[in-house]
Chains A and B, each alone.
Chain A
Amino acid sequence: NAGVTQTPKFQVLKTGQSMTLQCAQDMNHEYMSWYRQDPGMGLRLIHYSVGAGITDQGEVPNGYNVSRSTTEDFPLRLLSAAPSQTSVYFCASSPRYGGELFFGEGSRLTVL
């Protein structure tokens, strides 16, 4: 059972470039979310989804875009990368009845 799979694990971008972080889960979870983790800080919510076709903004959504066309996939798009988006990104999923988040392994993004 793969759980939550994130790709890529590492990425270096130049300012202004765009990219997509992929996230897939095979647990049939309704909820999926993206967080970023900066040094010395906890995880902050970027975007989340309560089901296919439904997304909403979290605490720090600016500069990011998401879509959820299937239950399994929840990609995060950086539209025009900025150095302030250098961070570690985590995708997570959880079931409808609530409870703990199941995390991917994280993606370290560096924007030069």
Chain B
Amino acid sequence: AQTVTQSQPEMSVQEAETVTLSCTYDTSENNYYLFWYKQPPSRQMILVIRQEAYKQQNATENRFSVNFQKAAKSFSLKISDSQLGDTAMYFCAFMSYTNAGKSTFGDGTTLTVKP
């Protein structure tokens, strides 16, 4: 079974600064996806970024980028130029190719962006 660990329950950052959220996972699978989802106070789950394990290049989406270290089973999210709208809970999630359609989630990191 896979596990996903987010060791930072809460974090804060000043507006316009950069913050990094940590995630580690454990799996014996070789082919899988990793995701970061954002959950603002509205409760909606929103995909932030995804990474396929076979890709060596780290994924980026505008101000969001990841540092994917496959051997270390680490998948951190960097948010650059933080904005007030980034305030949310962030979840790291794992999905293997052999169990597509279901994900294992970490417990989340609550991020507060301060003006």
Contact = CB atoms under 8 A, between A and B. Distances in A.
A14 interface: no
Contact of B108 (A31, A42, A92, A106): A42
B101 interface: yes
Interface stretch (B14-22, B44-52, B69-77): B44-52
A33 B101 contact: yes
Contacts of B101: 30-33, 48, 50, 94, 98
Interface residues of B, number: 23
Given A40-B107, A41-B107, A42-B91, A106 B102 contact: no
Interface size class of A (residues with CB under 8 A): 20 to 34
B105 interface: yes
A44 B2 CA distance: 12
B43 interface: yes
A65 B60 CA distance: 39
Given A98-B97, A105-B43, A45 B102 contact: yes
Interface in A18-38: 30-33, 35
Given A43-B105, A100-B50, A90 B97 contact: no
Given A100-B35, A106-B43, A42 B102 contact: no
Interface string B1-31: 0001010010000000000000000000000
Given A31-B101, A33-B102, A98-B101, A103 B45 contact: yes
Contact of A48 (B9, B102, B107): B102
A35 B112 CA distance: 25
Interface of B: 4, 6, 9, 33, 35, 43-45, 47, 50, 91, 93, 95, 97, 100-108
Interface of A: 30-33, 35, 40-45, 48, 50, 58, 88, 90, 92, 94, 96-101, 103, 105-106, 108
20 contacts: A32-B101, A33-B102, A40-B107, A42-B4, A42-B93, A42-B107, A42-B108, A43-B105, A48-B102, A96-B100, A97-B100, A98-B33, A98-B97, A98-B100, A99-B50, A100-B47, A101-B45, A101-B95, A101-B103, A106-B44
Given A41-B108, A94-B100, A98-B97, 14 more contacts: A30-B101, A32-B101, A42-B4, A43-B103, A45-B102, A94-B101, A96-B100, A99-B50, A99-B95, A100-B35, A101-B45, A101-B93, A105-B44, A106-B43
